[in-house]
Amino acid sequence: MTRLEETILRTIALILVPVVAGLTLYVKVLWADNEELRPEFNGYVAPRKLESIVNFAKNISVTIECQGELGSGFSFELDENYDFATWNFEVPDGERSILLTNYHVVEKCDKEDILVEVVISEDESISGELVGVDPENDLAAILISKRLDWGVATPYKMRSGYWVLAAGSPFAMEGTVTFGNIIRIEDQRIYTSASLNKGNSGGPLLDNEGYVVGLNTGYRAVAQNLNWAIEISRVCKKLATCEYGELSPDI
Number of Cβ within a 10 Å radius of residue 34? 10
Q: Which of 194-198, 199-203, 246-250 has the lowest mean pLDDT?
A: 246-250
Catalytic choice (75, 138, 207, 233): 138
Residues 1 and 123 in one domain: no
Give the Cα separation of 147 and 126 in Å (integer). Answer: 12
- For 133-136, the CB contacts below 8 A with 24+ separation are 133/103, 133/106, 133/238, 134/103, 134/234, 134/237, 134/238, 134/239, 135/103, 135/107, 136/237, 136/238
DSSP H stretches of helix in the chain = 3-36, 50-60, 103-111, 235-238
Query: Do 173 and 121 belong to one domain?
Result: yes
Active-site position among 201, 207, 233, 248: 201
Mean pLDDT of the residues in the chain: 85
Position 43 in a domain: no
Separation of alpha carbons 183 and 194, rounded Å: 10
pLDDT at 152 over 50: yes
* In a domain? residue 181: yes
Tell me how far apart the alpha carbons of residues 126 and 173 are, in angstroms, rounded to a whole number: 18
pLDDT above 90 coverage of the chain, percent: 63
Distances (CA, A) of 151 to 4, 19, 21, 78, 112: 69, 48, 45, 9, 29
26-71 residue pLDDT tens: 444 434 445 565 677 789 999 988 999 999 999 999 999 999 999 9
Distances 92 to 52, 80, 96, 240, 246 between C-alpha atoms, Å: 30, 17, 7, 16, 24
Asked if residue 55 and residue 29 are part of one domain, the reply reads no
* Residues 13 and 74 grouped into a single domain: no
The reply to whether 138 belongs to the active site is: yes
Asked if residue 76 and residue 132 are part of one domain, the reply reads yes
Query: Considering 104, 169, 233, 248, which one is annotated as catalytic?
Result: 104
Task: Assign 250 a pLDDT band (cuts: 50, 70, 90).
Answer: low
For residue 77, what are the domain limits? 50-242
Is residue 247 in some structural domain?
A: no
pLDDT score at 214 = 97
- Give mean pLDDT, residues 60-84: 92
213-240, pLDDT tens digit by residue?
999 998 766 556 789 999 999 999 999 9
pLDDT range class, residue 244, cuts 50, 70, 90: confident
Instruction: Say yes or no: 2 and 86 in one domain.
Output: no
Span 117-133, mean pLDDT? 94
pLDDT of 21 reads: 45
Q: What is the CATH number of the domain that holds 80?
A: 2.40.10.120
**Is 236:141 a contact under the CB 8 Å cutoff?**
no
Question: In a 3-state reduction of DSSP, which class is residue 19?
Answer: helix
Encode burial over 95-125: b for 16+ CB neighbours within 10 A, e otherwise: eebbbbbbbbbbbebeeeeeebbbbbeeeee
Where are the strands (E) in the chain, listed by range?
Answer: 61-66, 69-75, 85-87, 97-101, 116-121, 124-134, 139-144, 163-168, 176-186, 189-192, 204-206, 212-219, 227-231, 240-242
Q: Render pLDDT for 5-31 as a digit per residue (tens, 0 to 9).
A: 555 556 655 565 554 444 444 444 434
Q: How many domains does the chain have?
A: 2
Can you tell me the distance from the alpha carbon of 95 to that of 127, in angstroms, rounded to the nearest whole number?
14
Residue 213: inside a domain, yes or no? Answer: yes
